[in-house]
Amino acid sequence: MGDRIKIFGIVALVGFMAGILVQLTADYAIPWLMDVIPALIQVRFVVSGLAGACLTMVLVGVWAYMTGPRDR
């Protein structure tokens, strides 16, 4: 049971850090991009999509690593 709680804690920590990164991106990167590249007004959707893709890849990677083969 202790291993499951550790995994839950790790996933919660990764999600927390991903949330911080997304917030920093929303606060700093998006306004900068909108100033630098005015033609791409919809850049928020691109950045949000990239952030979601990165978050998903990290979570799937953690899940795949944690639930690997039991034949060790």
The tens place of each residue's pLDDT in the chain, 72 residues long, gives 678 888 888 888 888 888 888 888 888 887 887 777 766 556 677 777 788 888 888 888 888 888 877 665
In the prediction, which pLDDT does 19 show? 86
Q: Domain of residue 12: give its range.
A: 2-65
In the prediction, which pLDDT does 3 show? 81
- 70 belongs to a structural domain: no
- 10 belongs to a structural domain: yes
In the prediction, which pLDDT does 41 show? 55
- 54 belongs to a structural domain: yes
- 34 belongs to a structural domain: yes
Q: Structurally, how many domains does the chain consist of?
A: 1
- The pTM of this model reads 0.46
Would you give the DSSP letter of residue 27?
Answer: I
- Residues constituting the chain: 72
In the prediction, which pLDDT does 39 show? 61
In the prediction, which pLDDT does 1 show? 65
- 28 belongs to a structural domain: yes
Write down the residue that tokens 């990290």 correspond to. Answer: 58
- 21 belongs to a structural domain: yes
- 71 belongs to a structural domain: no
